[in-house]
Structure 1
Amino acid sequence: MSDAVDSESLLSRASELIDRAVAAGADAADAVVVRGHSRSVTVRLGKVEGTEASESDDFSLRVFVGKRVASVSANPGFDLKLLAERAVAMAKASPEDPFSSLADPSDLAKDWPELELFDPSEVSADQLTEAALATEAAAVGYGGITNSGGGGASAGMGGLVLATSHGFSGSYKASRFGRSVSVIAGEGTKMERDYDFDSRLYYADLRDAADIGIGAAERAVKRLNPRQVPTAKDVTVVYDPRVARGIAGHIAGAINGASVARKTSFLRDRMGKQVLKSGLFVTDDPLVVRGSSSRPFDGEGVRGERLVMIEDGILNHWFLSTSTARELGLSTNGRGVRGGTAVNPASTNFALEPGDVSPEDLIRSIGTGFYVTELIGQGVNMVTGEYSRGASGFWIENGELTFPVSEVTIASNLKDMFMRITPADDIDRKFGVAAPTLAIEGMTLAGK
């Protein structure tokens, strides 16, 4: 059976489930099928360590009886009538929720563009094994590498089938392919580990296996013989793009409407005010063709549009689903995401937009500072903005990366950090959260 036919079958079943819920006493309902099919291979030291394959179509039904709501989940093969009756009975026994409801009909997507999210390439287990072995072999064969943490390759597909009682019906699917490897350089107490990976929607877009392996090896070898540096205040910290995505992720978390409604965001009272340095822009776009986190409509059937979340440093938008928007007295902007039986807002293709200086020139302009390549621990308080992370990387001296550094802690407050960001021009938009190299002034470094 083709996937197109299969999606039609799932939509038909979801629509029938809604009809059953309405017949059982629901005022409104929606049904969603979250799809996931994947295959992966892991190897270590030239031998296959594991293979895994999974396939699931998980149904969720959400029903509304007045201002009461309930959700239930089931695997394929369930009895439609029993599931619908159970959901309605649960809703009738639930407390009232003044904010939960289906999206307003005027917000629903009527049509959507072709985003090219699905690559039909069939990748066999043998091909995955070959790629995983080749990635690891390139890494282990690099001078200075003494052991392997393992390599892997994967291929999969995920998607969403959604039907609602007020007329929405739609589905989409997205493929995903990946390669990764982790290796160790050095020996005894002087070992250092690092990794590299790639993840793409289209198989042909994946980085070459050998390139990934060599990238991981180079990073590990460069970390050998690290030093501690003295404790210092007012240090300029430069975030490698791989860890700079974490800073962008903190921005995304702080402007999530759910966090604002719960009063767990340190930016909850900053709408319309400056939250980043002037000249900085943050965007979110669910309609990027072949975008890592693109989607033609959200988990409620609402089509989102590209938003400039932060413009010239000024906060313009929260991420909003229908219920979160109503709680805040606003309208959804199509950022609802299904998570189990709940719908919560989240970013799509989120980017802290680049500046106009190369990372080399940015580092050169700093003179002395700390270039971070890895962060350790979870020392970020999103309620207060307090930030403290273990870190390793390289010391910057005379505008150049010099010796490796480890066992230090960098600290500040995200509110201050956001106002001191200087971005380079090297953004890589292949990930759902993207950021270029970032320099942040005025941080505290705790060392020896």
Structure 2
Amino acid sequence: MKIDLRKVAEQSIDLAKRKGADEADVIVLQSRSFSVSVREGDLENVENNDQITLGLRVLVGKKQACVAGSDFRTSAIADIAERAIAMAGVAPEDPFIGLAKPNQLGPPNETTELRLYSEEGFPSPEECTRLGQTMEEAAKGVKGVSKTDSSSAGYGESRYCFLASNGFESESRKNFLSAGCSAIAGDGLEMETDYYGETRIFQLDMSTPERIGRKAGERAAAKLGSIKPSTMNTAVLFDRRVSATLIGHILGAINGGAIARGTSWLKDDLGNEILPTNLDLYEEPFRPKSLSSTLYDGEGIAKRERKFIEKGTLKSWVMDLATSRKLEMPTTGNATRGISSPPSPGTTNIALTCGDKSPGELMKEIDSGILITSLIGSTINSNTGDYSRGASGFLIENGEVTQPISEFTIAGNLRDMIKTLIPSNDPREFSSYKVPSLLIENMTVAGS
């Protein structure tokens, strides 16, 4: 169904103002997705979603409320506006809310330069099914793999319109293809499972289904014979599959919301050295072919590349307008806006400086250590940075990966951990987090 998203957005703003809003903004999102999953060669599940949703935010004085809906008749939009105004009336006052000033807004622009949309078209349902079957066959062709949990393939696309009463307007569209396989190795009580999948905008950037299935199978088979390691203090190499979680903890700690609340282990470290001096942590909002790329943040502020950490020194918090006002600093243009929630600080594409050595070369320098490929659960103290997580992976002995290991916990303090980060040179090309494998020289491993 073709809907004029801009017309719906304009009508929503107009009705909100008529009903009593001092300011308003609205997101109108149309999305559709299709996926199939295959098990044992047969089609197991088909999912087909097609939806259009609007999310209206109204500001009445220093109060705000958000309401979402999917009925675009004029009477229904008017009802959404009325409900939002009523909800704002009973909301607590917040002196820091408010739309961007016109001089803070970036000029209107199209997103074609970001390469977020492919004109190649999508695979048919039959082609998606064949992709799933091919991945499954490739996984089962790996020695030790007994079956697959599922293999899935699909696609999605969306159109997006964001309008605000301060004059900001933006429209964009994006699409993607996805394929993945979950393989099971071994049998009985000795089974191990693992997964590999990809999401890309352009078909040419996708791996073949044979490679996807084979990689899932190889990952699962490599875990057979897993043991519980001894308790020790040792070097830990975070594989690139999980290394971005460490950077996520840093970003959480420099989030303006956490800083304003005083609930961050880095709250007193602006201007201090927190990473090795050869490392930068920065945002790349204009990275081509990344689904997180954007020209504007969720409040219409023009994005720009920004170093949050430069040469190891913490240079900036991650802020939207409200947190920047609380902290009495300029916004960093990092608002994220959901359909039914007000803006909050967040990031788009993140990158960490890479090192010169491959993960294998880093391992060569480790006499005894652990390679982490999977993390389970999380106990992170946001005030102190104390870190503890369940994990699985492999022993490193004399510079080589040897025995698969599982059912152990790694622990340390994030402040100490990140001071010794040694990056490799293997970031994932199409991930929104371009973070390579990361070596931490000493952590506590709690095993048997």
Residue 355 of structure 2: aligned partner:
355
Aligned equivalent of 2:42: 47
Question: CA separation in 2, counterparts of 1:222 and 1:239?
Answer: 17
Matches within 5 A, 1:18-167: 18-78=13-73, 79=75, 80-112=77-109, 114-120=113-119, 121-167=121-167
Partners of 1:281 and 1:308 within 8 A in 2: yes
In the alignment, the residues of structure 2 paired with residue 405 and residue 90 of structure 1 have an alpha-carbon distance, to the nearest angstrom, of: 52
Calculate the TM-score normalised by the size of structure 2.
0.95
2:287 alignment counterpart: 288
Over residues 266-294 of structure 1, what are the superposed CA-to-partner deviations in whole Å (9 max), with x where a residue is unaligned? Answer: 11221111121221111111111212310
1:270 counterpart SS class: coil
Q: How does 1:40-439 map to 2 (within 5 A)?
A: 40-78=35-73, 79=75, 80-112=77-109, 114-120=113-119, 121-233=121-233, 235-339=234-338, 340-439=340-439
CA shift for structure 1 position 41: 0.7
User: Following the alignment from structure 2 to structure 1, what is the Cα–Cα distance between the partners of residues 60 and 392?
Assistant: 54
State the Cα deviation string for residues 146-190 of structure 1 (Å, max 9, x = none).
121111112001343111111111111221211111111112222
User: 1:119–1:76: structure 2 CA closer, same or farther, 3 Å change rule?
Assistant: farther
Q: State the alpha-carbon separation in 1 of the partners of residues 15 and 390 from structure 2.
A: 54
Q: CA deviation at 1:210?
A: 0.6
**Alpha-carbon distance in structure 1 between the residues aligned to 2:182 and 2:150:** 6
Query: How far did residue 116 of structure 1 move?
Result: 1.1
* Aligned-partner residue type, residue 132 of structure 1: G
CA distance 1:267–1:74, shift in 2 (3 Å): same
What SS does structure 2 have at the residue aligned with 1:341? Answer: coil
Q: Are 1:351 and 1:429, in contact at CA under 8 Å, matched by a contact in 2?
A: no
Alpha-carbon shift at residue 352 of structure 1 (Å) = 2.0
**8 Å Cα contact 1:226-1:405 kept in structure 2:** yes
Letter of the structure 1 residue corresponding to residue 99 of structure 2: L
Q: 1:292 to 1:73 in 2, by over 3 A?
A: closer
Cα distance in 1, alignment partners of residues 317 and 90 from structure 2: 33
CA distance in 2, matches of 1:341, 1:135: 38
Distance 1:89 1:185, change over 3 A: closer
3-state SS in 2 of match to 1:179:
strand
Q: For residues 87 and 404 of structure 1, what CA distance do their matches in structure 2 show?
A: 54
Instruction: Please give the per-residue CA displacement for 1:80-128, whole angstroms capped at 9, x wherever unaligned.
Output: 3333233223323433211111122122120335211011322221121
Q: Distance in 1 between matches of 2:238 and 2:51?
A: 38
Q: Report the more deviating stretch, 71-80 or 267-276.
A: 71-80
Secondary structure of the residue aligned to 2:317 is: coil
CA distance 1:404–1:95, shift in 2 (3 Å) = closer
Instruction: Tell me, in whole angstroms, the C-alpha distance in 2 between the residues paired with 1:367 and 1:159.
Output: 52
Per-residue deviation, 1:55: 1.5
Q: Is the 8 A contact 2:254 2:317 kept in 1?
A: yes
| 8 A Cα contact 2:8 2:72, kept in partner | no
Q: Do 1:61 and 1:341's aligned partners in 2 also have CA atoms closer than 8 Å?
A: no
Conserved? CA contact 2:108–2:170, under 8 Å: no
Structure 1 stretch 254-263 or stretch 176-185: which is displaced more? Answer: 254-263
AA at the equivalent of 1:38: S
2:6 maps to a residue whose letter is L
> Does the residue aligned with 2:225 lie in a helix, a strand or coil?
coil
Deviation at 1:251, TM superposition (A): 1.9
Query: Unpaired segments of 5 or more residues in structure 1?
Result: none
Measure the CA separation in 2 of the matches of 1:243 and 1:414: 15
One-letter code of the match for 1:302?
I
| C-alpha spacing 1:387/1:297, structure 2 compared with 1 (3 Å) | same
Deviations 1:126-153 (A, max 9, x none): 1211111111111012221112111111
List gaps (5 residues or longer) in structure 2.
none
Spell out, residue by residue over 1:323-377, the C-alpha distance to the aligned partner (whole angstroms, 9 max, x if none): 1221221222222111222211111001222111121111111222111111112
Relative to structure 2, which stretch is displaced further, 88-97 or 183-192? 88-97
1:215 positional shift:
0.6
Give, in angstroms, the shift of residue 259 of structure 1. 1.9
> For residues 229 and 64 of structure 2, what CA distance do their matches in structure 1 show?
56
For residue 400 of structure 1, report the CA deviation from its aligned partner: 1.1
Does 2:10 align with 1:11? no
In the alignment, the residues of structure 1 paired with residue 152 and residue 423 of structure 2 have an alpha-carbon distance, to the nearest angstrom, of 32
Pair 1:133–1:101, CA change in 2 (3 A): same
Contact 1:172 1:296 in 2 (8 A): no
8 Å contact kept, 1:409–1:447 = yes
Counterpart Cα distance in 1 of 2:195 and 2:50: 28
For these two proteins, the number of residue pairs brought into alignment is: 442
CA contact (8 A) 2:108 2:169 kept: no
The CA distance in 1 between the partners of 2:15 and 2:313, in whole Å, is: 47
Moved more, 321-330 or 90-99: 90-99
Give, in whole Å, the separation in 1 of the partners of 2:355 and 2:287.
21
Inter-CA distance 141–108: structure 2 relative to 1 (3 Å threshold)? same
8 Å CA contact 2:160, 2:172 repeated in 1: yes
Equivalent residue letter for 1:317: S
Contact 1:248 1:434 (C-alpha < 8 Å) held by counterparts: no
